[in-house]
């Protein structure tokens, strides 16, 4: 049987301002949101907002963080290891060449404290934005994005204990891209779609043991970028995204989707799951953020919707429950 799913809209008190190009992470069923833009290409601030998903009623809280608070940014990459949320890169200016960043910070949610992470070895990735980062145990993997010289397809590993960078092998079959989905399941990473001058509809797997890339055949995947994504169970989940870019770039809004597609991480096949009766599908969007929250469940927050005449940033909240049947 095909897997099925249910979306449920959640109402929470005191939500953060509407935003896109932000990050979300979940630790112990608590969601944390950082960064992004409310006005196109203008970083909001460096406040971290948290939401305890087990509380009733749901209520967002702005955290009074201490330490080396990172500068505001849009289009950074974000992932959690233990009690710490890591952010890497992003940018502070309008163009890719304006105030690009290649810094890393960690935020310890146990003590509400930021720290600048200084590498002790290896060569860090170049400045970039609209890249992705996932955690695998104590390691962080950074893929692609938009650099000062163009779109990238490189992969880097950061050991959070040793504080060292290592560049991984690349694949000639992966075009440089921004807004790709990067997911982790088992001993593999998955790169899905992204924007490389056009919306891409390809997928690739990186074996963490052999350090080899394999192209996955997904001919029925609609081209897209800047999607919501996470892994739940056996599936790499990709939600919505931009399916047709705007000529106005970030100043406008192209065409967006709100479908859920899955890649089975063992068989490497594309699956279109079935929505259950009563599922409340989120409105179409891109530049959104999504994270696994608990077993079989994920949280989706905010993003960009609308069109060129009325680009609309959101701060709505949805819970996805995936049932593998």
Q: Is the pLDDT of residue 94 over 90?
A: no
- 195-252 confidence digits (pLDDT tens): 999 999 999 999 999 999 999 999 999 999 999 999 999 999 999 999 998 877 666 6
- 71-91 confidence digits (pLDDT tens): 999 999 999 999 999 999 999
Distance from the Cα of residue 149 to its chain's centroid:
22
| Cβ pair 21, 74 in contact under 8 A | yes
Whole-angstrom Cα distance, residue 242 to residue 29? 28
Q: What pLDDT score was predicted for residue 263?
A: 97
Q: Phi-psi bin for 313: left (phi > 0), alpha (psi -120 to 50), beta? A: beta
Tokens describing residue 93: 């200016």
CATH number of the domain bearing residue 72:
2.120.10.80
Q: What is the mean pLDDT of residues 133-161?
A: 97
Q: What is the mean pLDDT of residues 49-66?
A: 97
Tokens describing residue 146: 């938009």
Exposed (0-12), middle (13-18) or buried (19+): which is 98, by Cβ within 10 Å? exposed
Tokens describing residue 166: 């290592």
| Cβ pair 127, 102 in contact under 8 A | yes
Residues 266, 182, 274, 256, CA torsion sign = negative
Position of tokens 């932000």? 22
Tokens describing residue 31: 């969601």
- 189-205 confidence digits (pLDDT tens): 999 999 999 999 999 99
Position of tokens 């702005």? 62
Number of separate domains in the chain: 1
Long-range contacts of 269-277 (CB under 8 A, 24+ apart): 270/218, 270/220, 270/221, 271/2, 271/3, 271/235, 272/2, 273/2, 273/3, 273/4, 273/5, 273/322, 274/2, 274/3, 274/4, 274/5, 275/4, 275/5, 275/6, 275/7, 276/4, 276/5, 276/6, 276/323
pTM over 0.75: yes
Q: Is the pLDDT of residue 1 over 80?
A: no
Question: Which residue segment(s) compose the domain that 210 sits in?
Answer: 4-323
| Cβ pair 239, 272 in contact under 8 A | no
- Mean pLDDT taken over the chain: 95
Residue 175 CB neighbour total at 10 angstroms:
18
Q: What pLDDT score was predicted for residue 191?
A: 98
Q: What pLDDT score was predicted for residue 76?
A: 97
Exposed (0-12), middle (13-18) or buried (19+): which is 310, by Cβ within 10 Å? exposed
Residue 270 CB neighbour total at 10 angstroms:
20
Tokens describing residue 290: 């999504």
Tokens describing residue 120: 């002790």
């Amino acid at each position: 049987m095909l897997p099925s799913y249910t979306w449920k809209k959640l109402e929470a008190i005191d939500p953060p301002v509407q935003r896109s190009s932000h990050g979300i992470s979940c630790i112990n069923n608590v969601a944390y949101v950082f960064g992004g833009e409310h006005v196109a290409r203008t970083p909001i601030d460096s406040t971290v907002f948290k939401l305890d998903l087990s509380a009733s009623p749901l209520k967002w809280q702005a955290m009074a963080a201490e330490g080396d608070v990172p500068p505001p940014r849009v289009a950074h990459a974000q992932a959690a290891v233990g009690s710490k949320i890591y952010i890497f890169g992003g940018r502070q200016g309008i163009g890719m060449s304006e105030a690009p960043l290649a810094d890393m910070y960690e935020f310890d949610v146990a003590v509400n404290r930021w720290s600048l992470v200084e590498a002790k070895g290896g060569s860090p990735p170049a400045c970039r934005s609209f890249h992705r980062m996932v955690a695998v145990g104590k390691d962080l993997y950074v893929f692609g994005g938009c650099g000062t010289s163009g779109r990238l397809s490189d992969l880097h590993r950061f050991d959070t204990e040793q504080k060292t960078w290592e560049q991984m092998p690349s694949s000639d079959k992966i075009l440089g891209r921004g807004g790709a989905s990067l997911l982790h399941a088992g001993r593999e990473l998955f790169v899905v779609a992204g924007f490389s001058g056009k919306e891409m509809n390809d997928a690739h797997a990186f074996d963490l043991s052999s350090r080899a890339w394999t192209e996955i055949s997904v001919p029925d995947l609609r081209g897209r970028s800047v999607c919501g994504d996470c892994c739940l169970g056996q599936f790499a989940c990709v939600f919505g995204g931009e399916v047709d870019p705007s000529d106005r770039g970030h100043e406008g809004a192209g065409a967006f989707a709100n479908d859920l597609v899955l890649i089975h991480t063992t068989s490497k096949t594309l699956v279109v799951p079935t929505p259950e009766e009563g599922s409340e599908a989120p409105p179409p969007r891109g530049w959104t953020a999504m994270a696994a929250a608990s077993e079989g469940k994920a949280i989706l927050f905010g993003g960009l919707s609308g069109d060129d005449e009325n680009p609309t940033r959101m701060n709505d909240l949805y819970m996805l429950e995936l049932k593998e049947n």
